[in-house]
Amino acid sequence: MIDDEREGEIRASIEPATEDAPSSPGSSGYAGEGGDSSSTTSGSHFEIEHEEIQEDTRIEIDRISISDSHTGWIPGKRHFDEDDASLSWRKRKKHFFVLSHSGKPIYSRYGDEHRLAGFSATLQAIISFVENGGDSVKLVRAGKHQVVFLVKGPIYLVCISSTEEPYESLRGQLELIYGQMLVILTKSINRCFEKNPKFDMTPLLGGTEIVFSSLIHSFSWNPATFLHAYTCLPLAYAARQAAGAILQDVADSGVLFAILMCRHKVISLFGAQKASLHPDDMLLLANFVMSSESFRTSESFSPICLPRYNPSAFLYAYIHYFDADTYLMLLTTSSDAFYHLKDCRIRVETVLLKSSVLSEVQRSLLNGGMHVEDVPPMPHSGSSHLGQQMLPSDSPDRFKEVNSGIGGPSGLWHFIYRSIYLDQYVSSEFSSPINTPQQQKRLYRAYQKLFASMHDKGIGPHRTQFRRDENYVLLCWVTQDFELYAAFDPLAEKDLAIKTCNHVCQWIKDVENEIFLLGASPFSW
Amino acid sequence: MSLRRRTLLKVIVLGDSGVGKTSLMNQYVHKKFSQQYKATIGADFVTKELQIDDRLVTLQIWDTAGQERFQSLGVAFYRGADCCVLVYDVNVMKSFDTLENWHEEFLKQANPPDPRAFPFILLGNKIDIDGGNSRVVSEKKAKDWCASKGNIPYFETSAKEDYNVDAAFLCIAKAALANEHEQDIYFQGIPEAAVPENEQRGGCAC
């Protein structure tokens, strides 16, 4: 489910069907609105100090109209009937806006873009006003809110957040939203604005709302969004090798990139010689594919742009789901390669079935990856596996203690390990006491903060950081080869925590064959 | 982004300070009028949704400040405008005389591809004052000016009495829609998928 960034007391539970125009003009909170075909929506004032991002005192009822037909429900776009005059809209903790340099709205996370036209104009006025002075606005703090601006040629992106995430993180998120837009449209969109400043790009983005809301959702659960690394599905070395071999085979036949994924995790990938795939591109591509329902139902061939690879041109992606979770993406530069790619897919599928990679993938999904409970008590060498869970599930050896509430040794609750050479990370499975999505989001936010502070160019770089607050002990360790982020019980002892981190690193070394894609880093060719 | 095609029009309102730009806005959008004068600082933004034939149109109205000290905001404000509403006070000659400057300044800053075809509209406001006895600009004079600018539509309005306000904005919205070119240039403009420098070897095997 999409998460909900808001304060608890206002709860708009059921969405009205809003396929057409916003149908409830009464909800914007202005008195005296007519119910006729025209309706007032908002008035904004361009005066920065009066800019009311904080909630105002207007008494307002968040009216939810329940209509009979739910056919128009658009997944991903929520609270369609809100605008900047709605108290509920103002209370949302994190807004994202995309607008054109003429102030026309392109995307808003919450509320209806057209009804936010006045707000959008205000944002443009602020940006342009500062630009007129030969400067550019990056961040405005207003009470507990941060307003982060990102200007990409004729496209302006703005985040208004009270989540206390670092500026760098929010800016990185705006970069990803812009990247996602390029995935769909390429940078050629700039030329449309050059020719015609009035250009309205919303029709070109029709139907992609879910792609953006899914990306924004991933900011709170997917560490790839701030680590700039990808993660692999844990898999026996032989199975990953088998998958890699056939992907290499098809890549040699004129495919630019061959990528086999399970949900947002990589099973294997291969690129044509010298072609490199950036982890951010993989994130955006996987998000685009996974959030678009139509890819699941049939094989597809779609123009797609990889912004880090070449922001101004389309590639063509052949996409096919082998099962509900596992999908193959074959990328090419040729717009008429569909049948060739289809043949490639059939070859890949045959090999995957023969070597039972797909069933191993399903088993890995069930068993999960690294569990903090399985961190070996002592650093040890020799052969090691991902704890017990790599054994067949029916094995009599399989026995896992359920120590709920205890976590791993020395109160270890969770860790993320990022390999710098591989551009990959591995994250432990969540376990007690980090059980709920809310707790997980909070931990990721804490990691994000840690990441930003470790990479702060002003005061860094740092090698280690130990931080204790009422929620966790956080330990971060950065070397030339890796970065380790670990969360412990807030009462954990420092020296034991450090020792445990060493164990974790040793453990990761021992099982790297199974958790990483080795020797195939897109950057290492 | 709903499935139904919706159009957003950026409307710039220009004219000397005190001619009633903000009052026209308030009357049009909020159906309110206040006798009290409050100078607009920078710009106010209001939106209004209306239906024209089968199209849903949102007017994004930029109510600008008339004072000269705000004119530096020009380019940024006028960029991408779909239409421009010029306002003067029929009781103040100077506000009519400066229309020439507003018109010229707008075209200079907004730089539309075809200035002659760009949709303007002229509103002569405050016709209610003193039963029309204090008026100094005649309707004919205003219409002559409009004719000289390529037949700009002209409306006499009263924000106070809500006279002709809706009609004027409907007119400008229609003119802007008529001027809107279908935006099909994007897909023609997309270059063929080309890979930079590292062109892959070989063609496909099919």
Q: What is the reported pLDDT for B70?
A: 61
Output B185 or A501, whichever has higher pLDDT.
A501
Among the ranges A71-75, A89-93, A451-455, A507-511, which has the highest mean pLDDT value?
A507-511
Q: How far apart are CA B71 and CA B92, in angstroms?
A: 21
| Domains identified in chain A and CATH numbers | 25-220 (3.30.450.70), 230-365 (3.30.450.30), 368-515 (3.30.450)
DSSP letter (8 states) at residue A47: -
Distances (CA, A) of A234 to A231, A505, B33: 9, 16, 68
From the CA of B33, how many Å to the nearest CA of chain A?
13
Q: What is the reported pLDDT for B184?
A: 43
Using DSSP's 3-state secondary structure scheme, residue B84 falls into strand
> Which stretches within A298-398 are classed as H helix?
338-354, 357-367
The answer to whether A244 and A442 have CB atoms below 8 angstroms apart is no
Apex B54 CA angle, B48 and B60, nearest 5: 20
Q: Spell B122-150 as b/e; 16+ CB within 10 A means b.
A: bbbbbbeeeeeeebebeeeebeebbeeee
Alpha-carbon torsion, ordered B107, B110, B115, B117, to 10 deg: -120
Is the CB of A310 less than 8 angstroms away from the CB of B195? yes
Is the CB of B42 less than 8 angstroms away from the CB of A100? no
Q: How far apart are CA A134 and CA A514, in angstroms?
A: 53
In A66-125, the residues whose Cβ lies within 8 Å of chain B are 74, 77, 100-105, 107, 113-115, 117-122, 124-125
Closest CB to A115 among B47, B195, B204:
B47
The answer to whether A368 and A427 have CB atoms below 8 angstroms apart is no
Using pLDDT thresholds of 50, 70 and 90, give the confidence band for residue A133.
confident
For the segment A71-100, the average pLDDT, to the nearest whole number, is: 77
In B159-198, the residues whose Cβ lies within 8 Å of chain A are 180-181, 183, 185-186, 189-196, 198
pLDDT at A128 over 90: no
**Complex ipTM:** 0.80
Q: How far apart are CA A104 and CA B131, in angstroms?
A: 41
Question: Edge to edge, what strands does the sheet with A94-100 contain?
Answer: A105-108, A94-100, A155-161, A145-152, A139-142
Cβ-based contacts under 8 A for chains A and B = 215
Tens digits of per-residue pLDDT, B123-158? 999 999 998 899 999 999 999 999 999 999 999 999
- The region, left, alpha or beta by phi > 0 then psi within -120 to 50, assigned to residue B162 is left
The answer to whether residue B129 neighbours chain A at the CB level (below 8 Å) is: no
Residue A87's identity, in one-letter code, is: L
Give the residue from A352, A355, A140, A393 showing the smallest Cα distance to A262: A352
Is the CB of B183 less than 8 angstroms away from the CB of A203? yes
Backbone angles phi, psi at A11, to 5 degrees: -135, 100
Is the CB of A337 less than 8 angstroms away from the CB of B204? yes
> Which stretches within A273-356 are classed as H helix?
279-291, 294-297, 338-354
Q: How far apart are CA A49 and CA A136, in angstroms?
A: 18
DSSP letter (8 states) at residue A147: E
Q: What is the reported pLDDT for B39?
A: 72
On chain A, the residues whose CB falls within 8 A of the CB of B2 are: 18-21, 74
In A265-304, the residues whose Cβ lies within 8 Å of chain B are 272-275, 303
pLDDT at A81 over 60: yes
Sign of CA dihedral B164, B165, B167, B168: positive
Half-sphere exposure of B107 (CA within 13 A, CB side): 14
Q: What is the reported pLDDT for A326?
A: 96
Which of A26-30, A187-191, B83-87 has the lowest average pLDDT?
A: A26-30
Percent of chain B with pLDDT over 90: 57
On chain B, the residues whose CB falls within 8 A of the CB of A196 are: 113, 181, 183, 185
Q: How far apart are CA B12 and CA A121, in angstroms?
A: 11
Q: Spell B74-111 as b/e; 16+ CB within 10 A means b.
A: bebbbbbbbbbbbbbbbbbeebbebbeebbeebbebbe
| Domains identified in chain B and CATH numbers | 6-189 (3.40.50.300)
Q: Look up residue A478 and give its two tokens.
A: 């950065």
Percent of chain A with pLDDT over 70: 78
Interface test with A, best of B23, B45, B55 (most A CBs within 10 A): B45
From the CA of B137, how many Å to the nearest CA of chain A?
32
On chain A, the residues whose CB falls within 8 A of the CB of B62 are: 103, 121
Q: What is the reported pLDDT for B78?
A: 86
The neighbour count for residue A346, using CB atoms within 10 Å, is: 11
In A410-439, the residues whose Cβ lies within 8 Å of chain B are none
Is the CB of A132 less than 8 angstroms away from the CB of B75? yes
Which of A26-35, A136-145, A371-380 has the lowest average pLDDT?
A: A26-35
Q: What is the reported pLDDT for A58?
A: 32
Backbone angles phi, psi at A424, to 5 degrees: -125, 155
For the segment B180-184, the average pLDDT, to the nearest whole number, is: 56
Closest CB to A121 among B60, B82, B203:
B60
Q: What is the reported pLDDT for A104?
A: 94
Closest CB to A46 among B45, B72, B196:
B45
* Alpha carbon A245 to chain centroid, angstroms: 29
Q: What is the mean pLDDT of chain A?
A: 81
Using DSSP's 3-state secondary structure scheme, residue A415 falls into strand
The answer to whether residue B117 neighbours chain A at the CB level (below 8 Å) is: no
